[in-house]
Amino acid sequence: MRNNRSTLSRRQLLQYAASASLVGPWVSSSAWAAWPDKPIKLVVPSAAGGAPDVICRILTTELSKNMGTPFIVDNKPGAGGAIGIQEVARAAPDGYTLGYGNVATLAINQSLYSKLPYDADKQLASVAMMGYVQNALVVNNSVAARNVEELIALAKSRPGRLTMASAGNGTTGHLGGELFKSLTGTFITHVPYRGSPQAIQDLIGGQIDLMFDNLSSILPHIRAGRVRALGVSGNRRSPSAPDLPTIAEAGVTGYETTAWGGIVAPFGTPRELITPLNSEINKVLGTRAISERYAQIGFELTIAPPERLFERALSERPMWAQVVKRSGARVD
């Protein structure tokens, strides 16, 4: 079954690649010439104020200006993003409903959930890869750990007593935490939330001990001293937090995760709409002032053709499947 889905996705990618060479921006030779003539909804499958929400609102503000039509962000958190992405998958493929597809909804959920209410390969179309952000490992200020080594020692001395928040089951905060536990031989209790804002508040308030969260949402709290950062999750230090070591650099060999995302549409959305949308999104991402705003929140941009987002998803699914299997995480 999985092979069939992967084959279908590659067929989709070839279709998008071919369309990019055949269709130019703002094609007017079809029934879609008047598009867009009403507001476009962008479903963000996470809570308002979280990293995906912040990333998408920067984009939609600029798209509204450039395209002369309102873009409305509709937050639909829950079930590892499945609730929001399901809405996109079931929408009419007319260019008026888009979604933010990310590592959770396109690459992790396929292994984590025993049954998903959507099939990314059969019900979604790749529109644009936007970029990626590292997670930061942070602890509340009362935790007696100043670095990763001390946190591991603390966790081993108190098995199951430390609590780890995440923005929800299936997020990179969740699975990144499970990978950390697996590689370090620690037992830390996972506490999933419906989005990162409430999780962060409980972390700051001392109800939660630690968290892996996107730099985009946690960085202001790190800079303000409300939480203590111990490391970042990528294979190199983040330009937004160059003083923080990578978790691998801090001693956890083999640790690496990043959270990436981009724009998807319902499968069947015409290439006459996908191509200009990709062009307009890339135009926004290529604007110096906008790229600087994204850099401030640790989001590193990718300007690419439509198929790049699904290429990334396909390439990472086996890796995340192994993380899920190794951790024993499963959601029915």
Contact 101, 263 (CB under 8 A): yes
User: Which pLDDT band, with edges at 50, 70 and 90, does 100 fall under?
Assistant: very high
What digits encode the pLDDT tens for the residues 302-314? 999 999 999 999 9
d(C-alpha 266, C-alpha 89), whole Å: 5
Q: What is the CATH number of the domain that holds 93?
A: 3.40.190.150
The verdict on 34 and 120 lying in the same domain is yes
**5 vs 12, 85, 119, 123, 129, CA distance in Å?**
11, 17, 9, 11, 20
The mean pLDDT of 320-330, rounded to a whole number, is: 85
Number of domains in the chain: 2
Q: Does residue 28 register a pLDDT over 60?
A: no
> 197: closest CA among 44, 58, 311?
44
The verdict on 142 and 205 lying in the same domain is yes
| Displacement of CA 249 from its chain's centroid (Å) | 23
What digits encode the pLDDT tens for the residues 112-161? 998 999 999 999 999 999 999 999 999 999 999 999 999 999 999 999 99
d(C-alpha 285, C-alpha 269), whole Å: 22
The verdict on 178 and 125 lying in the same domain is no
The verdict on 113 and 141 lying in the same domain is no
Residue 247: inside a domain, yes or no? Answer: no
Question: What pLDDT shows up at residue 173?
Answer: 93
The verdict on 126 and 264 lying in the same domain is yes
Please give the residue range of the domain that contains residue 217. Answer: 135-232
The verdict on 266 and 159 lying in the same domain is no
Contact 77, 168 (CB under 8 A): yes
Question: What pLDDT shows up at residue 25?
Answer: 41
In terms of pLDDT, which residue wins out, 33 or 223?
223
In terms of pLDDT, which residue wins out, 227 or 34?
227
The verdict on 54 and 117 lying in the same domain is yes
User: Which pLDDT band, with edges at 50, 70 and 90, does 170 fall under?
Assistant: confident
Q: Where are the alpha helices (DSSP H) in 23-147?
A: 51-67, 82-90, 103, 109-112, 120-123
The mean pLDDT of 258-275, rounded to a whole number, is: 96
Name the domain boundary from 197, 232, 267.
Answer: 232
Q: Where are the alpha helices (DSSP H) in 39-171?
A: 51-67, 82-90, 103, 109-112, 120-123, 148-157
The verdict on 115 and 150 lying in the same domain is no
Q: What is the CATH number of the domain that holds 139?
A: 3.40.190.10
The verdict on 111 and 76 lying in the same domain is yes
The verdict on 11 and 155 lying in the same domain is no
Mean pLDDT of the chain: 90
pTM: 0.82
The verdict on 85 and 12 lying in the same domain is yes
The verdict on 120 and 206 lying in the same domain is no
Chain position carrying tokens 């019900």: 123
Neighbours of 64 (CB within 10 A): 15
Q: What percent of the chain clears pLDDT 70, i.e. is strictly above it?
A: 90
Neighbours of 27 (CB within 10 A): 17
